Chain A
Amino acid sequence: MKISVIITLKKDVLDPQGKVIHQALDGMGFDDVNEVRQGKYFEIDTKETNPKKAKDKVEEMCKKLLANLVIENYKIIDAN
């Protein structure tokens, strides 16, 4: 079973990379962009077949390793 995770920076954490990407987009003519925030995306293929159990395990992974909860939020996307 594959489960996806998206990690994003919390709102009040400065994202200098996102800012530079925004500036670059602006320079390329995409001048209607309000803000860009950069994040991370993971695809986790697990042997677990029970979607609830798999999701719980991935949540534990997020808390223990994938995200740093001081600065990041995680969002688990439903198993396919």
Chain B
Amino acid sequence: MKSAVITFPGSNCDRDMDVALKKFGFKNKMVWHQDVELPKSDLIVLPGGFSYGDYLRCGSMASKSKIMQSVINFANSGGMIMGICNGFQILVETGLVPGVLLRNKYLEFICKNVFVKINDKNNDYFKNINSNVLELHIAHNEGNYFCTNDQLKEIEDNEQIAINYCNQNGQVEDSFNPNGSIKNIAGIFNKEKNVLGMMPHPERMIDTSLSGEDGSLFLKNLINNLK
């Protein structure tokens, strides 16, 4: 399976993602934001970081990068695109997934482990995964998912909510919501479910000696689904 990670100026999780993808068998290529064409890939990852210094709005400048037209075309032709953290912010700015990510409710940068409940396994990202709850890491200042009431209705009707913040037993409640996101939303799909944006970082949970293993679970399952 082939993957590509796009590096924008200010991306800082691109190499972690490269290491993680290779660990689970992806042949990964790094792509610079000023490139025009994507290498042939089964998965494109928009990594975390602070692209363009978060100027204007997080992800807004990166969403207008040269490479993004190819990314949008790839998405529209059914290609798998995963945006993590700042990558999620870039996805909402391109309009590939609905909504926006506002500043965290209590105005603090949040860096901690959280639990997320897998809300939908009817897609290539979570199909067959042997767990309903994952422990992953978040590190963000703007992860407060917001959308209009009309958008929320559409998202719910189409079952586009991918993961919700929860406790370790999978209970989704206000008290387990770290950043004020509507409905505890931590990740969301496009309508066709080939594009996934999420705030948690699976690439930070691939080594038991450093953190946890739930990122391994997710990425191993993902490559198996793509085979």
Q: Which residues of A contact B (CB under 8 A)?
A: 13-14, 16-17, 20, 65-66, 68, 70-71
Contact = CB atoms under 8 A, between A and B. Distances in A.
A15 B103 CA distance: 9
B60 A13 contact: no
Kindly name the residue among B57, B103, B151 whose own CB sees the greatest number of chain A CB atoms within 10 A: B57
Interface residues of B, number: 18
Given A13-B146, A65-B56, A65-B60, A71 B102 contact: yes
B100 interface: yes
Given A14-B105, A16-B105, A65-B56, A70 B93 contact: no
Contacts of A14: 102, 105, 146, 180
Interface in B89-115: 93, 99-100, 102-107
Contact of A66 (B56, B93, B99, B180): B56
Contacts of B57: 68
B191 interface: no
Nearest to A10: B148
Contact of A68 (B100, B107, B180): B100
A68 B93 contact: yes
Interface string B68-102: 00000000000000000000000001000001101
Given A14-B102, A65-B60, 19 more contacts: A13-B146, A14-B105, A14-B180, A16-B104, A16-B105, A16-B106, A16-B107, A17-B103, A17-B107, A20-B107, A65-B64, A68-B57, A68-B60, A68-B93, A68-B100, A70-B99, A70-B148, A71-B102, A71-B146
A57 B174 CA distance: 43
23 contacts: A13-B102, A13-B146, A14-B102, A14-B105, A14-B146, A14-B180, A16-B103, A16-B104, A16-B106, A16-B107, A17-B103, A17-B107, A20-B107, A65-B56, A65-B60, A65-B64, A66-B56, A70-B100, A70-B146, A70-B147, A70-B151, A71-B100, A71-B102
